[in-house]
Each structure stands twice: as structure tokens, then as C-alpha cells.
Structure 1
Amino acid sequence: MGKSRLALIGSLAAAVTMLTAGCGQGLLGGGSEGDGEEGPIALGMLIPQSGSEAAVGPYMKNAAQLAVDEVNAKGGVLGRKLELKVADDACDAQTAVAGANKLVAEGVDVSVGGYCSGATLPTLPVFGKTNIPMIIPAANSQELVDQRLKHVFMINGTGTQQATAAMAWIVKQGAKSAALVHDNTSYSKDIAVRTQKLLDESGGPETAILEAVTPKESDYSANIHNIMAKNPDFVYWTGYFQEGGLIIRQLRQAGYKGAIMVGDGSVSEKLAEIAGPEAAEGVYATMTQTPDTLQGAETWIADYNKKFGSNPGPYSNQSYDAVRLAAEAVKKAGSTDGAKVIAALEGIDGFPMFSGPLKFTPDHTLSSGGFQILVVKSGKFALQDALK
């Protein structure tokens, strides 16, 4: 996150130009001779199609399909077409494992899914046992990174990077004490605990309380009472939008007047619907780039809208890039062999994505998380600060 804002805008504009013009290092320039493999190249995508986070699933699926169609329109990869196979993970570990096993049985070559970290984590060994590369577009718990699995690559910012952005914004707002609220899932608790540690190290706002809630409840009054008793002037919710909307509404009903911020799992218009427009107005969010905050993405957004009859939402741009990256890696590998594709991913240098030219760190993460601060305005999230 050390780049200047000007440099970021320049690199984004260049990347988007290459994306929409189909110039991604020859990716869309037609097939070539492969290694004798035949039939479609199957990309597997685990996303929430049911459960409380199901609203995000169509954004990810549609964007991935848009990328598949664009690649195929240019001749595919290695003379073969791409095919997208989708399975439901419901943001639930057991459902996700069943979905991952289904995709493996269907012969997917690369996985390009993963939204909820708690559901993505148990699928790592499922794909790993057959050496299927995983390009994860959304899930970003640091636990995904800490396992140091060779087949796992993340193209969203990490939990550490998000916690750093959260700490910086809380300090910038001049808060004296912060309540950090999570739902005990891998993703949510990881960000809350890391933010607490960074706040303690900063010597700035103290952590008034680290509060854990139970997901999928309708009444969080006991948690709200615990938070209010500590009198924080900043509340950071790191879970998902279903619970986040309720917590925001109930905090305001209890008389809380301070600032509220949510993590990237809550960045959805559903948050404002659940919280209510008045309670949600002015709520901040830590978030990587969304279609609404991308510079120069108008053509891509128009293409998405034309194909699907609606605008792209959170994690659609990352899902689009996951497919493009998978295709590029297969092309460079000259094969769908897992070991060769993994080696090709590790060797990617400068591949244009919405987040900028890609080169993975040794941990298979982005070198910069690119987190931004969004704010709810009239029921929708808008860019507040790029934190560059």
C-alpha cells in the first residue's frame, strides 16, 4: 500500500485498457499446440449459492462466466475452450467440502472460487490431494496463507493487510477506544485479533472490548450491552453483512453515536437494507477494489451489464481476474498438469489485473493488499479514502 495514488490510478488505467482490449500478454490471442490434452479446460468455482451470503454468489459466477466467454471468443487456450463448473459452498465448511469433492470428481483443472474463509479452508486439502491449483478471489483469512501450501494462490488482500488498513483508519479518525466485534469464524476473528494487536502496538486507541457474537441469530442485545458498557467511540465489525446489518441497527437503537466500520465480508447493499438506511448511513468499510471504485472500468461494467442485465457487485472483478489468470497460467504451462500450472503461476510477472500488474510474493499473495475505505451513502458503498 505504499504506492502513490497517482501511480495506482495510472497502473489501473493501463491494466483496464489491456483487459478490455484483450491484450493480456496474448491470453486472448488464440490457441496453440498443447501437450496432447483434449476437451474443455474445466475451471471449478465454489461460491455461496445458498445460505446467508448467497447474494454474493451471482456476482462471482457471472463475472467468471464473462471471462470464460471472452477467452473462448478469442479461440480459448491451447486450442481448447474453457468451461466453468460451479458448486455451492453455502459459506459452510461441510457443504464446501462436499462441493469441492464434486468438482474434483468432475475433473476440474483449476479452482477459481472461494468466498468465505471458513468454508474455503477445509477445501484446501481436497484440491491439494490431486494437485489442483487454487486461485482464490475473495477469501482472505491469514490462515489460508500461513499453511504455506504450494497449490494455493490468493488474489485478494490478506487478513493482515486488512487489519493494517483498519488500524490506520481508526487511528486517523482520532478514536480513543475501539470495540472489535467478530463472529468466531476464521476470517472474522483473524481480522479482529490482528487489528487489536496492531492498535496495541500503535500506542493509539485502546481496545475497549474484543466481542464475539454467534452467527445467524436475530437478537444481539447481550453483545450490544457488553459493547455499550465499555463506552467505545469506534466499533469495527469484521463478520458478514447479515449479522452486521442487525448489529448496526441494534447499536443505533441502543443509543450508540460513535463511528462504525465493517470488514469486506459486509460490503453489500444488503447491509444497509438490514440495518435500515438511517442507521447504515456513514458506516465505513475496509474493502479491496469493487467495480464502483475502479478507475477506467466503464467498458467492462457495461459489458457485464449487457450480458447479465445488472451491474457487477463485490468480488466480481476479482472473480473475472481469477479466470483470466488461470487461463494465462495454463497457456504458459502449455498444459493443465497441476505441477506445471503451479510453476507457471509462481512465475507470473506483470500480468495485468484490476488490482494492478501481478507478481506473487513467496507466500502466493499479492504484494499489496490495495485496501480502501468505503462509506455508505444513500444505501450504497462509495469510496471514502484509497489509503495510498
Structure 2
Amino acid sequence: MNRKRFVAACLALVSLTALAQAPDNAPVFSGPPLKLGVIGPFTGPSADFGVPMLNGVRMAVDEINAVGGYLGRRIDLVVQDDKADPPTGLAGAKALAQEKVFATIGFCNTGVAMAALDVFQQNQMPLIVPCAAGSPVTTKFPPADSYVFRTSARDGIQSDFVVADLVKRGWTKVAIFADTTPYGQSGRADVKKALALRKLEPVYEANFALGTTDLTSELRAAREAGANVIFTYTVGKENAAVALSRQALKWNVPLVGGWPLSFPFFIDGAGRAAEGALMAQTFIAEPSNERRAAFLAGYARKYKVRRIPVPMAAAQAYDAAYILLYSMFNIRNGDLSGPRLKAALENMQRTYYGVVATYERPFSPQEKDAIVPTMMVMGQVKDGAITFAYPEDARRNLFVQRKK
């Protein structure tokens, strides 16, 4: 591909309207397809954000293929369903390595990701994580050596962001409710660290197993300890159990947490008890600018839905696919070996104007997380949907944020 065609292809990829091409303009591919792995919980208890993640990747790859793929080669997805189960995720990662995918986008659950990361590292197979937020995911390996990248906000960032908001509101007597999974416990540690930085400590802590449906006694103990806010760290129906138990006690204390408080398990499961809950968000499904409006309209049209169950999962996965492609275009000779692709991801030459953020050098040899606090906003449950907690965030969201 000569330089003129290369630049034209890159610029074409910025458009979100590629799928509108007429069939007779479909590209002609040369060479065998490239295999891109996708792994996540597409069935089972975490499918509410696993399916949007898969749809976000598929939507981006379809657009990329519509304008010629990578150097004239189509990109095919090799999909593995990890069912939110660590052993299944490990088996799926090994299957992707056997398929010789050139890279993988995936994982929604921290525990599943942690069980499988060694497979990607040992096979020098780049992995971009668009959902799993546990801080250990991108710290397991030394940064300069790591093949694990991420386009979701790690819990260390989310926790600190939310704690800063709590302090600003005067809610400093924090009760932490965390499940016993790796996600819940790493999140709990991140909240305590964020509090400690402000010379605070939780007034009460509760750990509970997945499947817990009644936390009334624990909430009663938190109330007696003087808590004036509840910080939850769990990814499933247990968030709703906290809200419903709080409602049963008629204890009108704020409920805050990471991004799982924007999931259907919480909003639909808790009903009116979910109203007012606050959470960290990178993307709120409102057409606040042209990029986001086009993404939301394209997703709704492609998948025939009026509402994305977990918009952040779809948007972060969509951006992950484009970041990968933009990095691939750094490699002019088509050598997508693991070390070459890792180096390209760490030194992306062309800015990608994404849906969640504007990505200008999102990664480096020392930095494997693309999201920083300046890209985040506080979301709030209102009338069964997620909106901006602060009007100024809605105004700021008109402009897609850059990494600073």
C-alpha cells in the first residue's frame, strides 16, 4: 500500500458510516483473513455487559472490513464464551492461542481475566481489556514486558474518583460492601486506599458471597456504626440486594460505587430503590456530540435495540478495536507478530477520535491503561436510566476528553 492509499484508509476509518456502503462498493480482499480473538461472558450471569462488549467489537470490525480491512485483508472474529467462569476463561484463552489469533479483545470479569492472563503473556499475544476493571489486571506483569492493555477505567481510578466526589459532598463516613470475588476484594482495597489518601477510613466493612439476597443485618450494623454513605463493590444482583435491604430498613443513605451500578442487574433488580445511586462512568448513552450520536444510532440500527444494556461496555470495546487497528497501521509490512504489535500499541502514531475519548498515544511501555480520571464523569440513576450527576459534566461531555 503506498502512502496516499495508507492515509486515505486511515481517514476513512474515522467515519462511523462505513456500514452504509452500497453492496456493489464492497471491498475485494487479498490474502488470507486475519484472526482477531474476542473473549467474554456471552452467556451466563455477566452476559448483560458481555454481549454489548462483543457487539461493540463486531460493529467496529464490520466497519473496518467495509473500508478494506487491514492492508487489503479481512479481519475475522474468533469468539470464545467464558461464561464468567475462570476455568472456562482459561480454556478459552488457550483455544485462542491455538487458533493463532494475532490479538484478542476481551474479559469482563476480573477473576476470569486473572486466571487467563498468563496465556497471553507467555504466547506474546496482545490482549486489550475493554471491561474488566480490577486494578491487578494491568499490574500482574512489569509494564515494559506486559502484553495486557486496557480501555476501561481500572478500579483504582474509579474508586479515587468516587471517593473524591463523596468528600466534596461531605459524605465521609463510608461503609464498604464488597463481594468475596477478586473483583470485589480488589475494589474494596482500592476504596480503602483512596480514603486513606484523604486521612479517612471506613466506619464499617461487609464482605458477602455471590448469591446473597439479604444484607439487612449488615446494613443495620453499618447504620449503627454511623455510616452516611454506602460504597458497593460487586458486579451482579448483589448490588440490588444492598439497595433493597436498605429500602427495607427505611434508611435513606446514599448508595455509590463503580460502574456496575449502571448495569441492568442493579437498575431493573432494585427498581425504585436504585433511584439516585451514583457511580463512575466513562460513557453515558446520551448523544452529547456527533461521534457519540453516530455510535448510538449505528448500534441501535445494527442490533435493533432501543437501549444498550451496558453502554460503557459497548463503547469501550468499540474504541479498543479501533485503537488496535490504528496501531496495526504503524506496521507497514504486515508483520503482526506479538512483539511488533505490542510495540505498535505502545507507540500509536495517529490520533484516534473515539467514542469514549480522544486517544493520542493511549499506551506506552510504562502505561497500559488508556483511561485517566479526566475522562470520567459521575453518573446517576434517574427514572430507571443513567444520566449525568452534575450539569457541568453534561456540558463538559460535549467535548471528548484527551489523556492528560
- Which TM bucket (shorter chain)? 0.7 to 0.9
User: Is 2:387 aligned against 1:382?
Assistant: yes
| 1:177 aligned residue | 173
User: Is 2:93 aligned against 1:100?
Assistant: yes
The answer (yes or no) to whether the contact 1:47–1:113 under 8 Å persists in 2 is: yes
The answer (yes or no) to whether the contact 1:167–1:198 under 8 Å persists in 2 is: yes
The answer (yes or no) to whether the contact 1:358–1:366 under 8 Å persists in 2 is: no
User: Is 2:367 aligned against 1:373?
Assistant: no
| 2:348 aligned residue | 348
* Deviation at residue 166 of structure 1 after TM alignment: 1.3
Q: Which stretch of structure 1 is more off in the superposition, 309-318 or 337-346?
A: 309-318
The answer (yes or no) to whether the contact 1:53–1:90 under 8 Å persists in 2 is: yes
User: What letter corresponds to residue 346 of structure 1 in structure 2?
Assistant: E
Q: Show the 5 A alignment for 1:124-135.
A: 124-135=117-128
* Deviation at residue 223 of structure 1 after TM alignment: 2.8
Structure 1 runs of 4+ with >4 Å offset: 30-33
| 1:200 aligned residue | 196
Q: Show the 5 A alignment for 1:42-191.
A: 42-147=35-140, 148=142, 149-191=145-187
Q: Which stretch of structure 1 is more off in the superposition, 79-88 or 358-367?
A: 358-367
User: Is 2:363 aligned against 1:358?
Assistant: no
How many Å separate the matches in 2 of 1:99 and 1:269?
26
User: What letter corresponds to residue 332 of structure 1 in structure 2?
Assistant: N
* Deviation at residue 50 of structure 1 after TM alignment: 2.5
User: What letter corresponds to residue 125 of structure 1 in structure 2?
Assistant: D
How many Å separate the matches in 2 of 1:286 and 1:58?
21
| 1:279 aligned residue | 273
Work out which of the residue numbers 325, 328, 331 in structure 2 matches 1:327: 325
Work out which of the residue numbers 222, 231, 236 in structure 2 matches 1:227: 222
- The higher relative CO (CA closer than 8 Å, separation ≥ 6) is in 1
Residue by residue over 1:193-218, the C-alpha shift from the partner in whole angstroms, topping out at 9 and shown as x without a partner, is: 22222223314x64111221111222
Residue by residue over 1:103-153, the C-alpha shift from the partner in whole angstroms, topping out at 9 and shown as x without a partner, is: 222221111111111111121111222211001111122111222352111
The answer (yes or no) to whether the contact 2:230–2:254 under 8 Å persists in 1 is: yes
Residue by residue over 1:79-111, the C-alpha shift from the partner in whole angstroms, topping out at 9 and shown as x without a partner, is: 210111221122221121112122222221111
Residue by residue over 1:147-166, the C-alpha shift from the partner in whole angstroms, topping out at 9 and shown as x without a partner, is: 23521111112222111101
Residue by residue over 1:325-361, the C-alpha shift from the partner in whole angstroms, topping out at 9 and shown as x without a partner, is: 2222223223221111001001114333221123224
How many Å separate the matches in 1 of 2:275 and 2:119?
42
The answer (yes or no) to whether the contact 1:269–1:379 under 8 Å persists in 2 is: no
Q: Which stretch of structure 1 is more off in the superposition, 330-339 or 340-349?
A: 330-339
Once superposed, what is the RMSD of the aligned Cα atoms? 2.5
How many Å separate the matches in 1 of 2:147 and 2:175?
36
How many Å separate the matches in 2 of 1:230 and 1:40?
60
| 2:21 aligned residue | none
* Deviation at residue 238 of structure 1 after TM alignment: 1.6
* Deviation at residue 19 of structure 1 after TM alignment: 4.5
**Unmatched runs of 5 consecutive residues or more in structure 1:** 1-14, 23-29
User: What letter corresponds to residue 340 of structure 1 in structure 2?
Assistant: R
Alignment partner of 1:150: what SS? coil
User: What letter corresponds to residue 352 of structure 1 in structure 2?
Assistant: Y
The answer (yes or no) to whether the contact 2:212–2:241 under 8 Å persists in 1 is: no
With over 3 angstroms needed to count, the CA separation of the structure-2 counterparts of 1:358 and 1:265, relative to structure 1, is: farther
Work out which of the residue numbers 236, 245, 259 in structure 1 matches 2:231: 236
The answer (yes or no) to whether the contact 1:241–1:266 under 8 Å persists in 2 is: no
| 2:211 aligned residue | 216
TM-score scaled by length of structure 1: 0.86
User: What letter corresponds to residue 348 of structure 2 in structure 1?
Assistant: I
TM-score scaled by length of structure 2: 0.83
* Deviation at residue 367 of structure 1 after TM alignment: 5.8
Q: Show the 5 A alignment for 1:266-305.
A: 266-276=261-271, 278-292=272-286, 295-296=289-290, 297-305=292-300
The answer (yes or no) to whether the contact 1:19–1:353 under 8 Å persists in 2 is: no
Q: Show the 5 A alignment for 1:239-250.
A: 239-250=234-245
Aligned residues: 361
How many Å separate the matches in 2 of 1:176 and 1:320?
37
User: What letter corresponds to residue 168 of structure 1 in structure 2?
Assistant: A
| 2:337 aligned residue | 337
How many Å separate the matches in 1 of 2:80 and 2:284?
23
